[in-house]
């Protein structure tokens, strides 16, 4: 294992709840792990604990089988061999691009520094900008300099704290693909923090979903998305709606009708079913079970918001040719073609 973390906790004085609460996970070498969760969920604090920028209250952090932090040991950040890309890039404004990248190359001779820096400038595609200063670079260029600087000393682990959040939306899509290719080409082991589900799915080989200081679930993007381990993960990662029901031997009884799905629940258990917009469908029907409240045009699709008679809200995809009016009564029914995720209430 490259990185192993056990029972990691951190409570900031003055806060009611711990920022990081008994977290445990491990990482393989060359893996990219996305930390994702709403703001204040503890993902950034966990990152800073690993970096050594905060001291944990408890827990063990091992990097390459060496303890870098436990109750007795606290290796300072400069001795951990961990690189970090900051949200605001944190390029030193008084140093040129070259000097920024060379900053971490302690103990290198001049010639070695030059070689390593040009290697990295090539990797990130910024050879012509070596002599520039950070303030005249574009957002995307700064991003890549920050990455080159963090990678230069060949860190055992690279941490990236919402690195794309300062970029414009259109630039973000372009840059994240470049960055992912660079990370894979340089065989880096990376923890990538984001609050954007889509970005987490794109960047991570695996995802770790955080909520209120706890690690809710860790797994491959497919697992997280299709086999959410908790209601929170389903809601946060999959934009799921929830419909209540009761388990029966043959399936689940809900206001959308019977969901035909094998299960081990004892009959009569109160459950909730996580539903995405492509898992259900509706047709116009005066005797139906809901009412259209709104239609959102999404190019190839119409995206309908339907209020069921119980008050629950669900969303439904329809082709762009199928147009209904808000207020229309509809009959909504299951149309998934795969098992849906069930949570007990």
Partner 1 sequence: MFRTEALRSTNRRQNKPIPKIAFLAGWVALLAVVPVIYILIRALTGDPELWQRIIQTRLIKLFSNTLWLVLAVTSGTTLLGVSMAWLTERTDVPGRKIFRWLLALPLAIPPYIGAIIHLALLRPHGGLISQWLEGTNFASLPLPNPTGFWGAAFVLVIFSFPYVFLLSGAAFRSLNASFDEAARMLGRTSWQTFWQVTIPAIRPGITAGALLVSLDILAEYGTVALLRFETFSSAIFVQLAGRYDRSAASILSGVLILLALVILYGEFRIQGQSQFTQIGSHWRPTTLIHLGKRRIWGFLALLFTVLVSFIIPVGLLLFWSAQGILDQQTISGMQIGSKGLLSFIFNSVWSSGFAAILAVLFSIPIAIYVVRYPGKVSRLFSRISQVGYAIPGVVVALSLVLLVNRFLPFLYATPLVVVMAYVVRYIPQAVRSSESAMHQLSPNLEEASRLLKRNALQTFVQVTLPLILPGLLAGSALVFLSSLKELPATLLLRPAGFETLAVRVWIWTEEGFYLQAAPASLLLVVISIIPLYFLLRRETIFRQ
Tokens 């209904």 sit on residue: 324
Stretch that binds partner 1, among 15-23, 45-53, 116-124, 328-336 (CB under 8 A): 45-53
Question: Taking the complex as a whole, how short is the minimal distance between the CB of residue 38 and partner 1, in angstroms?
Answer: 22
Among 16, 39, 65, 94, binds partner 1 (CB under 8 A): 94
Tokens of 57: 């209250």
Nearest distance, CB of residue 73 and partner 1, angstroms: 11
Contact, 138 vs 123, CB < 8 A? Answer: no
- Residue pair 247/271 in contact by the 8 Å Cβ criterion: yes
> Cβ of residue 100: shortest distance to partner 1, in angstroms?
9
Residues 6+ away with beta carbon under 8 Å from 169: none
Of these, 39, 93, 268, 327, which contacts partner 1 (CB under 8 A)? 93
- Three-state DSSP at 9 gives strand
C-beta separation of 25 from 183 below 8 A: no
Applying CB under 8 A, the site for partner 1 has a residue count of 29
Which of 100-108, 170-178, 256-264, 317-325 is the region at the interface with partner 1 (rule: CB under 8 A)? 100-108
CB of 62 to partner 1, least distance (A): 18
Residue closer to partner 1 (CB basis): 83 or 290 = 83
E strands within the chain? 3-10, 20-27, 32-36, 58-63, 66-69, 82-85, 157-161, 190-194, 206-211, 214-219, 241-248, 251-254, 257-259, 270-275, 280-284, 290-298, 301-308, 313-319, 329-334, 341-344
Query: Which of 70/220 has CB closer to partner 1?
Result: 70
Applying the rule CB under 8 A, the residues between 265 and 304 that interact with partner 1 are: none
From 60, 67, 75, 90, residue interacting with partner 1 (rule: CB under 8 A): 90
Q: Which is nearer to partner 1, 48 or 276 (CB)?
A: 48
For the bound state, the minimum distance from the C-beta of residue 86 to partner 1, rounded and expressed in Å, comes to: 5
| Number of helices followed by number of strands (H, E) in the chain | 8, 20
What does the block give as tokens for 345?
Answer: 């209430």
- Name which of 114 and 246 has its Cβ closer to partner 1: 114
**Residue written as tokens 């993007």?**
221
**Binders of partner 1 among 49-88, rule CB under 8 A?**
51-53, 55-58, 71, 76-80, 82-84, 86-88
Of residues 49 and 275, the one with the C-beta less far from partner 1 = 49
Cβ at position 170, least distance to partner 1 in Å: 18
Residue 63: both structure tokens together: 């990097």
Whole-angstrom distance, CA of residue 33 vs CA of residue 213: 17
Residues 134-153 that bind partner 1 (CB under 8 A): 149-150, 153
Chosen residue from 30, 103, 301, 317 binding partner 1 by CB under 8 A: 103
Greatest Cα pair distance, the chain, in angstroms, is 81
Please give the residue ranges that form the binding site for partner 1 (CB under 8 A): 51-53, 55-58, 71, 76-80, 82-84, 86-88, 90, 92-94, 103-104, 106, 149-150, 153
């Amino acid at each position: 294992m490259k990185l192993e973390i056990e029972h990691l906790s951190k409570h900031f004085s003055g806060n009611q709840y711990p920022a990081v609460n008994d977290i445990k996970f491990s990482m393989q070498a060359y893996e990219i792990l996305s930390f994702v969760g709403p703001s204040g969920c503890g993902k950034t604090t966990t990152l800073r604990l690993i970096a050594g920028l905060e001291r944990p209250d408890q827990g063990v952090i091992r990097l390459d089988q060496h303890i870098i932090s436990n109750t007795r040991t606290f290796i300072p950040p400069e001795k951990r061999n961990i690189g970090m890309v900051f949200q605001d890039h944190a390029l030193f404004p008084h140093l040129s691009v070259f000097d920024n990248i060379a900053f971490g190359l302690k103990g290198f001779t001049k010639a070695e520094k030059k070689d390593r820096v040009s290697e990295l400038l090539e990797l990130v595609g910024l050879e012509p900008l070596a002599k520039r200063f950070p303030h005249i670079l574009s957002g995307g260029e700064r991003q890549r300099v920050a990455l080159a600087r963090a990678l230069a000393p060949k860190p055992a682990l690279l941490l990236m704290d919402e690195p794309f959040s300062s970029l414009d939306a259109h630039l973000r899509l372009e840059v994240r693909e470049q960055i992912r290719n660079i990370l894979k080409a340089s065989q880096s082991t990376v923890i990538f923090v984001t609050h954007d589900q889509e970005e987490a799915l794109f960047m991570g080989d695996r995802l770790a979903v955080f909520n209120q200081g706890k690690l809710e679930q860790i797994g491959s993007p497919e697992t997280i998305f299709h086999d959410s381990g908790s209601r929170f993960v389903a809601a946060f990662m999959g934009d799921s709606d929830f419909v209540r029901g009761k388990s029966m031997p043959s399936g689940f009884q809900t206001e959308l009708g019977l969901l035909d799905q094998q299960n081990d629940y004892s009959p009569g258990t109160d459950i909730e079913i996580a539903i995405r917009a492509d898992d259900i469908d509706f047709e116009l029907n005066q005797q139906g079970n809901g009412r259209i409240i709104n239609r959102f045009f999404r190019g190839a699709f119409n995206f309908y918001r339907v209020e069921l008679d119980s008050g629950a809200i669900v969303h439904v995809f329809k082709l762009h040719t199928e147009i209904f009016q808000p207020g229309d009564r509809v009959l909504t029914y299951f149309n998934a073609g795969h098992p849906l995720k069930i949570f007990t209430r």
